[in-house]
Amino acid sequence: MIDNKHIDKLAVVFMLLAVIGLMAFMICYEGFNNASGTVMDYESSVFDRSEIIDIDISIDESQWENLLENAISEEYFPCDVTINGTSYNNVAIRAKGNTSLSMVASSDSDRFSFKISFDEYADGQNLYGLSSLILNNCYSDATMMKEAICYDMFNFLGADASLYNYAKISVNGQYWGVYLALEPVDEEFAIRNYGLNYGHIYKPDSMEMGGPGKMRDFKVDSQGNAETASFGDNMSFQAQGQSQNSEGPGQRPDAGFAADQGRQPGFGLQGEGAGGSRSGSGSDLNYIDDDPDSYQTIWENSIFKSTDADHSRVVTALKNICSDDVSARTLERYMDVDNILRYMAVHNFVVNLDSLSGNMAHNYYLYEEDGRLNIIPWDYNLAFGGFQSGNASEVINFPVDTPFSSGISMEDRQFFAALLENEAYLAKYHEYLRMLAEEYVEGGQLGKTVESIRASIDSLVERDPTAFYTYEEYTAAADMFVNTAKLRAESVLGQIEGSIPSTWEGQQTNPEALVDASSINISVMGTQGGNRGGNQSNDGGGKDEMPQNGQLSGDISEPPEMPGDNATRPAMPDDNSTQPELPGDGQTPPGGSFGGQPPDGIKPS
C-alpha cells in the first residue's frame, strides 16, 4: 500500500498538472476564439471555387409549383437536397429577395433567388457547419459576375465579407440554372469572422417595404416598368419620374429622387420621411438622439436577439462618431476603422448605389461588439452603375472623395464623413483604392478571376433554361464589364494621384480631365428592373426595348445629378492641412453545434 505521505505528494503533483493543463487549455482556447475568428469546415468544402457546387433539389411537384406561385410570401417548403453527391433530408427551401423578388413574381419568369435552410425542420443538420445557404439568381446582372467580383475584391483586401461560389441547380433531376451561392450573414458568419464570443448583427433598411425584407403590392406594366408599390404605412412610389417629395423628419424640402432627367425612367418617393438621405430613420447611421426608439430601422432586422442595452451601445457609438471635431482616438474606440476603410474602398470602387451610399440607405449589415461598430457588405448585383446611374462617364469617374448619390451630402452620411475628413484615414482609404486599381485590376487578378468564372459557368449559362439574358447578351456583358473595370481603375488612380478631380464639384468645373468613357454602354451589363441590354446611349439617352420572350425589361433607376453650388469640406480639427473638397448641404451629386454556447440566435428572415 502507498502510505499517506506519498499519497499527499501524488495529490499535489496531480493538482499541479491539472492547473498547468487548465492554463494550457485557456491559452489554446483564447487563440481559437480570438478576434480573427474561427476556421469553419464549409470554407473549403462548400466555397472552394476550384469547383462549383452541384445542387439537386428533390421536392414534390405540387409543393414546387406552390412555392413558385406564392414566392412573394417567402414561405418555406420541405425538400431533400443532394449537394456534391451527399444527400440531406428534410431540408427547407423558400424564395428570397426584395425588389427583385417582387419584380420576378410580377413577370413571366420563375427564376427566383432561394434560401436553403438545413436546420429549419431538423435541429442540428448543417452543410459542413453551415445551417443555411443563399442562392442568388443574378437578377439585373447580364454579366452574371458583378456580385462575385465584388466579393472577390473584398476578399482581396481582407475585409469582412461573405464567401461565394457558383452553383449548378437542378430540380427533380432537371437543370434549373446557374446561380451565385453565398454564405449568409448570420451565426456561422459571425463565428468564422469574430469567434464564438461574437457580438450583434443588424440589417438596417430605411425602405421597410411592407415589413422586413418585403415590398408589397409591387406591379410592373407590360414593358416591365414599375407602376406603383407600397413600402409600408407611410411610403409609396410612382414610376416614370413622378417625384412626390415631402419634408419628413430632418429632411431638406428639395431632397429625394429627381424627376425624369431625359435619361432613364426614375421613381420618386412620397410619404413621411421620404427624401434623399432618408434621415431620421437610423439606417443612414447618423446620430439622431439618445433614444434607441429613434433607430427602429436598425433594430427591426436584428439577426440575433438583442436588448435595449445592446441598442444603447450602438446609439452611444453613433453619437461619438458623428460628433463635431471627432478625434482619431474616439473613432478607433467606436469603429473598426481599418475594416471599414477596406469596405469603403471596394464599395466605392464598384459604384454600388443601391446601398448606404445611395438614397435607400440599405443593403448592408451593421456589426457591433463591445460598443464598436463595423460594416459588412451585402447585395452587389447592381454594382458598376446598375442602379441610379446616368451615363458611363459618371460611373467610370465616380468621385472617390464624395462617394454618394443624388441628394446625398457628406452631412447625410456622417459615419463615413468622419473617416474621409481625417487626413490619415483618407490616405489609408486611398491606399486601398490604389491596391484595387494597380494590383487587382491592372495587376491581372481581375482577368484571372473572370477567366476562371467563365471557364466554370459559360457552358451552364449557354443552356440555362431560366436565364434572364441570352448567351450572346451574357458574353457581350462580360466583355463590357472587364473594359468598364479597367477604365474605372484608370480613373481611380488619376483621382488619388490628383490628375482627375476626386469630388463632384471638382469634376463639374473640370470635366475635360475625366477618363473618356465613350466606349462603355452601362445598360449592356444590366440595370435595375431587369433591362436586357437595349440601346441606351452613353450620354443618358433613351433605350430601345428588345423582344423579351417572357423575361424582364425596363428600368426604374434614377441617374445621379451633378452637384450645383461650390462648397468646401471643413478643415481638419487636428491640423490646418487642406482636404479634398466635398459638396455641401443642398447639393445633389449623383447551425450546427460548435462546441460553445453562442448567444441565442434568431435566424434572419
Reported as a single tens digit per residue, the pLDDT across 486-522 is 999 999 999 999 999 999 999 999 999 999 999 999 9
Q: How many CB atoms lie within 10 A of CB 456?
A: 17
Residue indicated by cell numbers 432561394: 114
The grid coordinates of residue 536 equal: 441606351
Tell me, what's the pLDDT at 389? Answer: 61
Intervals of the chain under pLDDT 50: 24-34, 209-279, 531, 533-605
The residues pairing with 105 across neighbouring beta strands, listed in sequence order, are none
Closest alpha carbon to 237 in 201, 263, 273: 273
* Per-residue model confidence (pLDDT) at position 3: 58
Give the CA distances from residue 435 to residues 159, 432, 442, 525, in Å, rounded to whole numbers and listed in that order. Answer: 13, 5, 10, 25
Task: Provide long-range contacts, Cβ within 8 A and 24+ apart, for 86-89.
Answer: 88/118, 88/125, 88/127, 89/122
pLDDT in tens, 183-204: 999 999 999 999 999 999 999 9
Tell me what pLDDT residue 189 has: 98
User: Would the pTM count as exceeding 0.85?
Assistant: no
Cα–Cα–Cα angle for 454, 455, 458, nearest 5°?
55
Q: Residue 558: its pLDDT value, please?
A: 35
**100-122 as b/e, with b when 16 or more CB fall inside 10 Å?**
bbbbbbbbebbbbbbbbbbbbee
Q: How many CB atoms lie within 10 A of CB 222?
A: 8
What's the pLDDT score for residue 576? 35
SS3 assignment, position 228: strand
Q: How far apart are CA 46 and CA 39, in angstroms?
A: 13
Looking at residue 133, its pLDDT comes to: 98
